[in-house]
């Protein structure tokens, strides 16, 4: 789901992000962009249907979906990442988690793993991760670490939202522990895919 740290300049990375290459065919780029358009439409719909808090959430999602486009993320990771962000946000707004108990854990696992993989690639492209002798194993460990941080921050944001913004947000001790565990599992799966060098995501 990510690649070894690159020594290319930010300008070169930006140019690469806008052209097709192995792992990023035109259809993959187009599908990723379609999901970004869906995120933009979601901002408008959220504002109409749910109000300011939902609008802020989907603005955050829209910003997040732009990151893989900017850094030239492989198509499979780009698509899965954007789809996971959109699914997580819409399931929350439509209260799907309250009706389907297990879905919350699945979404936390998938989304946390995808965010960790994209974040690792962003750090690598920015030159913030030093090259390692065993690059894939090192990347896998870093992704698990990043995913753990993402999982903790996600739960802190849920707590802050419940405490200061909207007390209908579902926050309980068992739910928090389950979400943290799911995030860790999702990050481990993403790390395993990177370690195996899966085509289109690594």
Instruction: Give the residue numbers spanning the domain of 31.
Output: 10-195
**Structural domain count of the chain:** 1
The pLDDT tens digits of the residues spanning 138-169 come to 999 999 999 999 999 999 999 998 899 888 88
Residue 73 has pLDDT above 50, yes or no: yes
Q: Which residues pair with 21 in a beta bridge?
A: 24
At residue 190, what are phi and psi to the nearest 5 degrees?
-60, -40
Q: Tell me whether residue 5 is in a domain.
A: no
Q: Tell me whether residue 4 is in a domain.
A: no
Q: Tell me whether residue 2 is in a domain.
A: no
Q: Tell me whether residue 1 is in a domain.
A: no
The pLDDT tens digits of the residues spanning 6-46 come to 445 555 555 566 677 777 899 999 999 999 999 999 999 99
Q: Tell me whether residue 68 is in a domain.
A: yes
Q: Tell me whether residue 119 is in a domain.
A: yes
39, 47, 90: which is closest to 68 by C-alpha?
39
Q: Tell me whether residue 17 is in a domain.
A: yes
CB atoms within 10 A of CB 114: 29
Distances (CA, A) of 61 to 2, 31, 64, 67, 86: 21, 17, 5, 10, 7
pTM above 0.85, yes or no: yes
């Amino acid at each position: 789901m990510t690649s070894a740290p690159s020594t290319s300049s930010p300008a070169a990375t930006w140019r690469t992000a806008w052209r097709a290459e192995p792992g990023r065919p035109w259809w993959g780029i187009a599908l990723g962009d379609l999901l970004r358009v869906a995120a933009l439409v979601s901002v408008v719909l959220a504002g109409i249907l749910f109000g300011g808090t939902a609008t802020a959430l989907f603005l955050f999602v829209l910003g997040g979906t732009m990151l893989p486009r900017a850094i030239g993320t492989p198509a499979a990771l780009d698509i899965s990442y954007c789809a996971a962000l959109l699914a997580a946000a819409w399931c929350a707004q439509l209260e799907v988690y309250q009706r389907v108990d297990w879905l919350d854990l699945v979404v936390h696992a998938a989304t946390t793993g995808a965010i960790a993989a994209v974040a690792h690639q962003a750090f690598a492209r920015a030159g913030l991760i030093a090259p390692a002798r065993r690059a894939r194993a090192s990347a896998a460990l870093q992704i698990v670490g990043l995913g753990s941080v993402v999982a903790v921050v996600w739960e802190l944001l849920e707590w802050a939202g419940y405490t200061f913004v909207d007390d209908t947000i579902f926050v309980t001790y068992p739910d928090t522990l389950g979400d943290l565990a799911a995030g860790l599992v999702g990050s481990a799966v993403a790390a395993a895919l990177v370690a195996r060098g899966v085509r289109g995501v690594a």
